[in-house]
Chain A
Amino acid sequence: MKNFNFKIRISSLIFLIFLLTYLIILFTTYGVSHYTNSEVKFLEDNFSKAIPNIYSCNFDYFSINKHISHGEFEHVRFRKIITTNEDCFGKIAYTGITPGTNFDDIDPGSYLEFGVNQKLGYVLWLFEKNFLIFLFIFSTLLLLQSRFVKQNFFKYFLILIFIYSLVNFDVQNMYINSSKHYFPSENSKSVNLLNNWFLQND
C-alpha cells in the first residue's frame, strides 16, 4: 500500500509539473493579454457585426473567434498553420471572406475559414477558453490525487473527460476544409457504397 501511495503521489506530481511547465512556456510564447478583451472591444467598435480587415497578423485568434461567434454561423473553421514569424504567433493569418461584409449578408450555413498562425510545438491552448477550464479542473484533480493518495480520483477524471467530449462533440464533428460534417455520413450506407464504388465505376 505504501508503495502504491508513493507511486501515485510522485507520478501525479511529475505529470502536473510537466503540464504546468508547458503552460508557462506557452505563456512566454503567446502571452495572455488577449484576455483583457481590448482587441475584442476594438473589433466591436470598428467592425460591429461585420468581417474585419485582416492583414499582417493584426488580430489574434481569441478576439476573432469571439467576434465571429456573434454571427452564430454554423460552419466556422480555424485552420492552424505553422509559422516562424514571431509577430504572428497566435494571430489570424487570413480569411476567405471579403472585409467589411456584414454578418447579416452571410448565409448562417456557409463555410467560413480562418487561418491561425502558431509556433511549431507550441499549441494554442491559451486562446481556447473551454480547454483552459478543462485543464484547470484536470490539474486540480491531479493535485488532489497526489495529496489524498488513499482515494481514487480516476473516476472524476473520467467524468471530466466525458463531459468535455460530449460538450465539444458537435464542434469537432466538422471537416476542417469544408462545411461538411463527418457524421452522419450518407456515403457510408450500404446502398451508397454499392452505387459509389461499383455502379459508377462500371
Chain B
Amino acid sequence: MISYLYLSLLFLTPGLLISGVLKTQKKFLLTSSFSVFFWSISTLILQINYLINTFFGNLFVGLIFLYWFLRFRNYQNVLYNLVFLSILELINNAFGILHIVSTFSITLEASLQNLDYISSSVNVPAVQITFLKFFNDEYFLATLPQFLGFSLLLSNSYSILNFKKIPKKYLLVIVPAFLIFCVVLEIMTIRSHFFSSQILCFLIIETLKNKENRLSENIFFIFLCLFLSSRLENYYLYYPLLLLILTKYIEFEDKQNSKIYLKLLSATSIPILINFNSLSGGDDIRGDIRISIALILILNIFIFFKDKLLMTFLYNYINYFFALGIAGLAFTNFVLYDFKALHSWLFLVTHLLDTHRGWVIATLYFLLLIIYLISYSNKVFEVKVFVNVFLTFALIIISSPLHHSIYGYEQWSTGIIDGIAIYNFFDESQTRSFLQLFLSILPLSLVIIKSNKENMEI
C-alpha cells in the first residue's frame, strides 16, 4: 500500500505542479496527462530518470509535492487522481484486467535502459515507455495506460456534456463500445493507442468549441505535443486531420501574434526530439526521422501562410486532395506490389469484418458513428472533420501493403496466402490503428444521442 502510494505520488507530482501553474486545478482529469507529458521527456533527457530511480531524486520530487501542496492547496485534485488510480490497481490486483502482450517486453526493455541512463532505440513511443517506469522492489504500477486513457475519456465526455447541457446519465451512451471484445482487449494492453485516441478527441473538441469556451492555448499545444509523442505513426495517419484542425484552431487567434506560431512550431517539433531515439530505430517508414522533420516543417509553413490564396484553396478542398492522395497511394502500392497489395487489403478487410472478438461490430459501429456525425453536423468545418476521419480509415486500409511488406516475412515475399490464418502478423498494427481512430470519435457520440437539431453544435 505504501509502495503504491509512493509510486502514484511520484508519477502525479509533475502533473499537479503543471496544473497549478496553468490554473487547471479544477480539471482533475487532465492532471495525469500533464504528468505523462513531463515524464515522457525522460526518454530524451535521461537524467530525468534520476528523479524516478534514486532516493535523492524521489526526495526532490517529494519536496516539489510539498511545495505544490502548500502553494496551491488543491487537495481534491490529488485525492481524485489517487482514488481513480487505486480503483484500477485494486481491480487489476483482484481480477487481472490487463492484457500482457509481446509489446510489453520490448517496452519494458526500453524503460529499463532509460532507468539505467541508456537511450533506447526500440521503436516504441516515449509515452509508452513512460508507462512502465514506475515500479520498485515491492510494487509495479501497471494500470497507468488505462488510468490516463479513461481520465481523458471522461474529461472529453464531460466537456461535451457540459457545453451541450446534456444530463450526466447520457454518459452511458459510450458504454456499449467498451463491451466489444476487441476494444476491451486493446485498451487493456500496455500500449498508447487508447490514450492517443483520447488526446486527438480532446484536440477536436477544443477546435470545435467557440473561442470563449476553450481552455488556454498553452494546454491545447501541450496536448498537441503529447498527441505527436504518443504514437510514432500519428505523424503520417493524422497529418491531413491535423492540418484541418490546426488551421481552424488558429483562425480565431490574433493573426499578428507571432507567439502562437512559435508555440505551434515548438509543440510539433518537440515530439521529434522526445521520440528521437524511437524514430531513429525500426525498419519501416516511421524509422526515417527526416520524413517526420519534413512533415512538421510543411505543416508549420502551411499554417503560417494559411491566408495566402494557394493555402486557402488547399484548405477548402483538403478532403478532395486527401482522397486523391489515397487513390494515388493505392495505385502506387499496386504498381509496386501487384497482387500482394490486393492480398494485404483483403486480409485487412477480412479481419475487420470477422465476427471473432467483435471486430465486425466495431467496424459497423465506427461507420454508423461517421454517418450520424456527418448527418447531424450543420457546420461545414464539422462535416469536413468527420469526412476526414472516414478518409483516415481508408488510409489505414490502403497503406497496409507498406506495413506488410516489412513485417509479413516469408508469406509476403512469396505471395502465398493458402493456409494463412486471418489473425496473423500481417494486419495487427493496422487494426490497432483502426481502433485508435474509432475511440477518437467515440465520445462525440454524445452529441448525437440528444437529437435536437438546433442544439447540435458543441
Q: Report which A residues bind B (CB closer than 8 A).
A: 1, 3-4, 7-8, 11-12, 15, 79-85, 118, 120-125, 128, 131, 134, 138, 152, 154-155, 157-159, 161-162, 164-166, 168-169, 172-173, 176, 182-191, 193-194, 197
Contact = CB atoms under 8 A, between A and B. Distances in A.
B423 interface: yes
Given A4-B453, A152-B449, A161-B180, 14 more contacts: A4-B376, A8-B371, A11-B375, A82-B350, A84-B417, A125-B353, A154-B368, A154-B445, A154-B451, A158-B173, A161-B177, A165-B361, A190-B89, A191-B93
A197 B108 contact: yes
B419 A82 contact: yes
Interface string B167-180: 00000010111011
Interface string B82-122: 00000001001101111110000100100000000000000
Interface stretch (B13-21, B37-45, B135-143, B284-292): B135-143
Interface of B: 89, 92-93, 95-100, 105, 108, 135, 137-142, 173, 175-177, 179-181, 184-185, 188, 343, 346-347, 349-350, 353-358, 360-361, 364-365, 367-368, 371-372, 374-376, 378, 417-423, 445, 448-449, 451, 453
Contacts of B343: 120
A182 B140 contact: no
Contacts of B347: 82, 120
Nearest to A158: B176
B372 A168 contact: no
A79 B421 contact: yes
Contacts of A154: 368, 372, 445, 448-449, 451
Contact of A138 (B89, B92, B108, B364): B364
A47 B361 CA distance: 35
A128 to B, nearest CB: 5
A176 B365 CA distance: 24
B96 A187 contact: yes
A170 B180 CA distance: 11
A152 B448 CA distance: 8
Nearest to B352: A123
A99 B178 CA distance: 40
A82 B355 CA distance: 15
A131 B422 CA distance: 18
A8 B96 CA distance: 42
Nearest to B347: A120
Contacts of A4: 375-376, 378, 453
Contact of A172 (B140, B346, B349, B357): B357
B135 A82 contact: no
Contacts of B137: 194
Given A15-B371, A162-B176, A182-B185, A188 B420 contact: no
A128 B445 CA distance: 29
6 contacts: A4-B376, A12-B371, A155-B449, A162-B179, A188-B142, A194-B138
Contacts of A15: 367-368, 371
A189 B420 contact: no
A80 B421 contact: yes
Contacts of A187: 96, 100
A153 B89 CA distance: 38
Contacts of B367: 15
Given A118-B422, A152-B451, A189-B96, A157 B175 contact: no
Contacts of A172: 181, 356-358
B372 A8 contact: yes
B188 to A, nearest CB: 8
B355 A128 contact: yes
A3 B378 contact: yes
B181 A173 contact: yes
Of B368, B449, B453, the most chain A CB neighbours within 10 A belong to B368
